[in-house]
Structure 1
C-alpha cells in the first residue's frame, strides 16, 4: 500500500503531464489557462483549511482532487506560455511579407553529405522597408559546396528573403517533421544559398553554452589526434562526448539492429557510470571523514555538472545531470527510500522549465528506463540466486582451489545474471515506445547488451581517463617542451587501450548482426492509443504482481481485449482499401497501387529507388498499412498494371538522338491514368482520363491537355517537375477549369478507383 503523503510528486507529476499533453493534443488555441489554474489552486487551499478545522475524509479528498486539477491546469498554462507562436511579435504573423531578417545561430550544426543544418533564432525582420523586432525559430540548410564554412553557435546572420512554413508530411505515414520542429519552437524552414546571407557579428545567446561547445570541440580534437581509424574515432567521440557527426550509416544501423543505440548517446548511461564511480571512490577514500554525507554532495554535483559542461551541455546530458543531481541530494537527505518520488521531482522540475520535453523521445525513454530499472531490476534479480546455487555445489572434502573456483563461478554468474536483470528491466518499460517510434524490436538486445555495455562502460572510464591524463601532461609539456615526447607516451598507451576496447565492442555488435540476421523484427505498426494500452497492460500486470488482487488481472484482461480489438478494427479498415498514389520523392517519378495490404510501386523514371528513398518515403506507409511483400518495379517492366504506350512527337522524330519516353496510358480497377514526359502530339481523338501525371517538365500546352484527355482530368505535377515549371502552368490550368496538384508542395496525390 502506497502512503501518498510520503510521495506527493508521484501524483503531481502525472497530473502535470496530463495537462501538458491535453494542451498539445487539443491545440494551443485555448483561452489562457492561468485563471483556471489559480482558481483551482485557491479552491483546493480553501478546502484544505476547512479540512484542518473540521477533520474529515470528504474535505481532504476534495482538496486533493482539486489540487491535482490545479496542477493539470498549471501544465496546460505552462505549455501555452512556452508556445512562442502565441506571441504577438512572432515570425508567423509576418513571414510572408518578410524581405530580410536578422537572426542568430542557436543550435548545434549537423553536417550532412551536401548541406549544413542548424537553427536560427530571429531577432528582427524587415517588412515594407522597415525593421521591426520579431521572434521565432527557423530550421535552415546551407550547401557545403564551394568552401562554405559550417555555421557556428552565436553567429549573427543577415539573410535576404523570407522563410516558408515547415512542411507537413508529404507521403502517407511519413514522419511528421513539422510537428517535431514545433515542439522545439521552430515553425519555419529555409534553404539559404551562400550569396543570400552574411555573418555580421558574433553574439552568442548564452556565453556559457558557447564556451561549453568550444571545450567539447577541444576534447574531440584529443580523440582525433590519438585515435586514427575513423570508425573507432567516431565511436570514441560519440561514446564520451556525444558527438555523432562522423559515425557512418552502417555503424548506426548495426547498433540500431541490436538494440544498443543508447551506447552512442551521452545520456543516463555515461552520467550514471560517472556517478557510480564517483560515489564508490568517495566512499572508499573519505567515507569516515566528518561531514562526508554533506560535502560529498557538493563534490558529486560539481563532477556531474563539469562533465555536462565539457560535453557541450547537450539536452540529453542535461536531463541526466538534473536527474542524478536530485538523486545525490536525496541521498544526502537520507531519502533513498523515496527514489521514485525523487525521480518524479526531477521530471516535474524539467517539465516546468520546458513543458515540451514531454514529447521528447529521449526524455520519455530516460525516465521510463530508470524507473523500470529501480523497480524491476531487484525483483528480477531475486529470481535466481547464483551465489547460493554454486555454494551448494561446494563440499568440505574438495580441495581449496576447487572451492575457490565454485565461489568465483558464483560471483561471475551473479554478475552476469544481475546485468541480464538490468537489461530485461530496462526493456520492459521502453519496448512499447520502441515499437511506436522506431517500428522495430531487436530480439538480440540481451546478447548485445551483455557484452557491449560492460565493455563500453569500461571504455567510458578509459576515455575520460585519457582526457584527464592529457590535461595533466599538457602543463608540464608547456613548461618543458623537450620532455613533451616522453610525457606523451602515457596518453598514447591509454589511447591504444581505448581504441582496442572500442574496436572490440564494435566488432562484437557487427558479429551479432551477421550471426543473427533475423533477430530484428521490423515494420511493426502501433498507434499512440495502442501504445497507451500496452503501457496500461504492463501497469496492470505489475500491480497484480505487487498486490495479488484479482481486480488487476481483470483490468489487464480488459485492456488486452481492447488492444486486440483495436488491431482487428485497424486491419478490417485497411483490408478493402484500394488507392492510387503519386509519391513526393525529390526529383523522382514514383507511383503506387494499393489493394488492401498488397502494394506495387512503379519508378516511372526507370531508375531503382535508393535505400534512403525507400526507408524515409515509402517504408512509413508500408508499416502503417501492414503491407506484405511489396513489389517495386522499374520503368513499368513486370508491373501487374496493364499499360500501353503512345509515341509522342519527339520519340517519333528521327532527328533526335536522345528519345524521350512515350506517353503511357494505364487502367487500374476502372481508374484511367496517363503519364506524359515529353512533347504531347496532337491527338486524333480525345482519350478521356481521370488522372494525368506530368513528368520531367513535359512540354505541353494546357489547351492541348484538355483537348486530348478531357476537361475533367485531374492534372498532377510529380516531383520530377521543377518549381518554375509548376508555377508557369498552374494558373493556366486553373483558368481552363482543370485541377492541378503539385506533390512537391501539397504532398502525395491519392485517388481511389471509381465506386470504391
Structure 2
C-alpha cells in the first residue's frame, strides 16, 4: 500500500480530527454563541451540498477539493454546535438557594464529608440565577455523625439549602484544575450544606435502563460477597469486572498504579475483547460464522457490558471497533484498523463531546494504535520459534507496543512512569481472562452452592496471587519514577519521531527518516535546555492548601516542601507535584515546625537570596531576629493565631510582604487585617488570590511552547 492509498483508507481519522478541533474551540466559547454557530453551520451546509451536486451537473468540474474543504468546516462547526448545545453554562458569583433534587452519584471524602452530584428538580432563590435543563450540581454535606454511611443513594430525592457558587479558577500553579474537570462533567455549580439543612425526602431507586443496570451491578456485587470473596479480593474483582473503581482503597489502587497494572482495573478494550472472544466462541457452537443472529447477539452483549461497567470511553471504543469488525465479517468487507480507530473516536465524540478532554479517551486509542503499529515489527523477532517462546514473546510485544503508543502521553499527563510494567504485564495479563470467565460462571451458577463455591475458591486464589504480585513489584527499587516533566511540545515531538520512524520503515521515503532524526535532535535540545533552566531556578511558593499549610522553596533546582505531619502524600501530590516537576530537579519533604511547642512555631525559609519567616501560634514580641538578617526578610507567612504587637514586629524587620493563609483562624485573620492595613504593609491573602508565587526562572524553550 502506498502512502496516498493509506491516507485515503483512513477517512474517519480525518473526520475525527475536524470534529475534535470544533469541540476544542467550543470550550473557549460561551453557550450564548450557539445561535451564531448554528447560522454559520447552516451556511456551510448549503455550500457543502452545492459542491457535492455540481460534479453531477458539470462533468469537467475540477474544483472537487472545495467539497473536502467545506466538509472539513462542516464537521468543525458540528463539533462546536454539539458541544455548546450539550454543555452547561458558566455560573459566576454566588447565590443562596433552597432546592429539591435527585441524587445522581454519592461518595464519601477522605475527611468524612458526603459528596453528592444531584440533578435539580425544583429550587427557589432571591437572585436572578437560572438553572439549565441538563445541568448538575455538586453538594458537599456535613455528616451528622461519625458513621461513614452515605445517607442517600442514586435515585433518592433530597432537599437542602446552600450557597451555590460557580467553579473558581485554579489557585495553585501547575496543579490539577478540579473546577474545569467538574465543568466538563456537566456540573455547573457547587455548594456546602450543613447537616441540619440536608434531608432525604424520598428513597426511590433510579428509573429506566440506568436504574436497571445499577441494580444488576449491585446484585452481581452481592453475589461475589455472599460467596466468600471479601476484602482486597472483592475490591479488585468489582473494579475488574464491573468497573466499580470507587470501592478500591487508596493503598490497593497505589499498588496497581506503581506496578504498571492499573489498566487491568480500568475496564477497557482488553476486557471487552475477552468477552467478545468468549461469546463469539460459544455462539459458534450453534450458529454459522456469518449468521446475522450471531452478529446481533454479540453486539447486544457488548453494548450491555459497556453500560454495565459504566460506559468509559475505552469500553465504547472497543465496542464500536469489535461491532464494526463483526459487521465486516458478515458483509465480507475487512476494514482498516486505523480507520476503525477513527470511527470509534468519531462516534464517541458525537455522543460525548467532552470525552475529548478525558485521559482515558486518548490513552485507549493510542494504546491500540501502538499495538497495531509496533506489534507486527516485534513479532518478526521470534517468528518460527516454539510455542512457549511465541506466547511469551506475544505478551512482551503487546506490552511494549502499547507502552510505546502511550508513553509520551502518560508522561505528559501523569508525570510518572512504572519501571516494572513489563513484569506486571507478564504476571497479571494472563490472569485477566480466567478471572473474567470465572466471575461470569460464578454469577450464572450462584444458585448452585457447590459449583459457586468451586468457582469462588479458584477466583479468590487468582485474585490473591494478583494482589501479591503487584505488592511485590511495588516494593522493588525505583518501582515508580515520579516528578517527570514533559511539555506539550516535547510530547508532540515524541509522537512525530515515532510516526516518522514507522512511515520510513513501511514506505522507505528518506524524508521521514530525516524528520525522525530532526525530531530526536529537537527533543534532546529541549530536554537539555529545560534541565539547564531547572538548575538555575529559584522559587518560593505558599500553596492554597486550606488549613494544612504547604510551603515550597527551590534553590538552584533543589526543592524542599514544608508541611505538617497530618498532610498526606496524596494531598501533596494533588496540590504540589506539578509545580515541583516543572521547576525543580528533585524534592525533599521537611517538617514545617520542628516542635508542637507554641514557642517553637517559627520557621525560616531561604529562597531568592533572602528569607521568608513562617509564624504560627506564637507571641511575636518574643521573637528575636539577628540584625544581620533583618534587611533580608522578604515576607512573613501567618500560619496561626498570632499574639503580641504585630505592627511593631513588622516595623522592626522593614515591613516585608505579609502572606495570610487559611491556617490562620478566621477570627484572628479578620482582626489582623485591619491592623495590617493601617500599618501600610503589602498584604497577600492566599485564600482570596490563590497561591503566593515568587519565581526566578531563566528563559527557556518552555517559555515559547506553554
Common fold, TM-score beyond 0.5? yes
Deviation at 1:499, TM superposition (A): 0.8
Pairs within 5 Å for 1:345-744: 345-385=343-383, 388-389=384-385, 410-470=386-446, 473=447, 487-514=448-475, 516-603=476-563, 607=565, 610-630=568-588, 632-635=590-593, 659-661=598-600, 669-677=608-616, 678-681=618-621, 690-699=634-643, 703-704=647-648, 707=651, 709=653, 712-730=655-673, 733-734=676-677, 737-744=680-687
Select which of 670, 673, 692 maps to 1:749. Answer: 692
TM (norm. structure 2) is: 0.88
State the Cα deviation string for residues 146-197 of structure 1 (Å, max 9, x = none).
4453431122322212133334444332222122222212243333332221
In the TM superposition, what is the alpha-carbon distance from 1:258 to its structure 2 partner?
A: 2.1
Aligned to 2:704: none
Considering only CA atoms, is the larger Rg found in Structure 1 or Structure 2? 1
CA displacement at 1:70 relative to structure 2: 2.1
Over 3 Å counting, the alpha-carbon distance change for 1:323 and 1:245 in structure 2 is same
Q: Find the aligned partners of 1:75 and 1:129 in 2 and give their Cα distance.
A: 33
Does the 8 Å CA contact 1:124/1:131 hold for their aligned counterparts? no
In the alignment, structure 1 residue 19 sits paired with structure 2 residue 25: no
Q: Is the 8 A contact 1:577 1:595 kept in 2?
A: yes
Cα-to-partner distance string for 1:466-498 (whole Å, 9 max, x where unaligned): 01111xx2xxxxxxxxxxxxx411101110011
How many Å separate the matches in 1 of 2:611 and 2:434? 64
Cα deviations across residues 366-416 of structure 1 (Å, max 9, x unaligned)? 22222333343334323321xx33xxxxxxxxxxxxxxxxxxxx2232222
Q: What's 2:136 paired with? A: 137
Check the 8 A contact 1:255/1:261 in 2, yes or no: yes
Residue number in structure 2 paired with 1:184 = 185
Q: Secondary structure at the match of 2:256?
A: helix
Please tell me whether the aligned partners of residues 635 and 657 of structure 2 are also in contact (alpha carbons under 8 angstroms): yes
Q: Distance in 2 between matches of 1:57 and 1:5?
A: 21
Distance 2:607 2:298 in 1: 68
Rounded to whole Å, the distance in 2 between the matches of 1:728 and 1:324 is 65
User: Residues 128, 708 of structure 1: CA spacing in aligned structure 2 closer, same or farther, 3 A cutoff?
Assistant: farther
Which residue in the other structure is 2:69 paired with? 65
Distance 2:689 2:140 in 1: 21
1:44 aligns with 2:40: no
Q: Deviations over 1:608-658 (max 9, x none)?
A: 854334333333222122423536355369xxxxxxxxxxxxx9xxxxxx7
- Deviation, 1:16, is 1.1
Matches within 5 A, 1:15-164: 15-24=18-27, 32-55=36-59, 58-85=62-89, 92=91, 96-107=94-105, 109=107, 112=110, 114-128=112-126, 134=132, 136-143=135-142, 145-147=145-147, 149-164=150-165
Mapped to 2, the partners of 1:326 and 1:700 lie a distance apart of: 75
**Structure with more relative contact order (C-alpha pairs < 8 Å, separation 6 or more):** 2
Change (3 A) 1:723 1:568: farther
Query: Is the aligned partner of 1:260 residue 2:200?
Result: no
Distance of 2:698 and 2:624 partners within structure 1: 30
* Residue aligned with 1:584, SS: coil
Residue 731 (structure 1) shift: 5.3
Write out aligned runs for 1:254-333 (5 A). Answer: 254-287=255-288, 292-311=290-309, 317-333=315-331
Q: Would the aligned equivalents of 1:682 and 1:708 in 2 still touch at CA under 8 Å?
A: no
Aligned counterparts of 1:629 and 1:361: Cα–Cα separation in 2 = 26
| Structure 2: segments with no counterpart, 5+ residues | 700-706
Contact 1:124–1:132 at 8 Å: present in 2 too? Answer: no
User: CA 1:110 to 1:414, structure 2 compared with 1: closer, same or farther past 3 Å?
Assistant: farther
Q: SS at 2:152's partner residue?
A: coil
Residues of 2 paired with 1:111 and 1:684: CA distance? 42
Cα gap change, 1:490 to 1:103, in 2 (>3 Å): same
Question: Are the aligned partners of 2:552 and 2:559 in contact in 1 as well (CA < 8 Å)?
Answer: yes
Preserved contact between residue 97 and residue 164 of structure 2 (Cα < 8 Å)? no
Q: Give the 3 Å change call, closer, same or farther, for CA 362–227 of structure 1 in structure 2.
A: farther
The match for 1:397 is: none
Deviation at 1:223, TM superposition (A): 1.0
Q: CA 1:286–1:580 in 2, change beyond 3 Å: closer, same or farther?
A: same
Q: Distance in 2 between matches of 1:319 and 1:735?
A: 62
On the 8 A contact 2:31/2:88 being kept in 1, the answer is no
Contact 2:313 / 2:355 at 8 angstroms: preserved in 1? no
Taking the aligned partners of 1:460 and 1:266, their CA distance within structure 2 comes to 11
Aligned length: 687
Match of 1:645 in 2: none
Please show how residues 172-211 of structure 1 align to structure 2 within 5 Å. Answer: 172-201=173-202, 207-211=208-212
Alpha carbons of structure 1 residues 52 and 457: separation in structure 2 relative to 1, 3 Å: same
Tell me: CA distance 1:664–1:65, structure 2 relative to 1, closer, same or farther (3 Å): closer
Question: Unpaired runs of 5+ in structure 1?
Answer: 87-91, 390-409, 474-486, 638-650, 652-657
Distance 1:630-1:706 versus aligned 2 partners, 3 A rule: closer
Counterparts of 2:58 and 2:377, CA distance in 1: 43
Does the CA contact (< 8 Å) of 2:173 and 2:579 recur in 1? yes
CA contact (8 A) 2:89 2:132 kept: no
Asked if the contact 2:540–2:694 (Cα under 8 Å) also holds between the matched residues in 1, the reply is yes
Cα offset, 1:137, TM superposition: 2.8
TM-score, normalization by structure 1: 0.82
Q: Which position in structure 2 is the counterpart of 1:251?
A: 252
Tell me by how many angstroms 1:347 deviates: 1.7
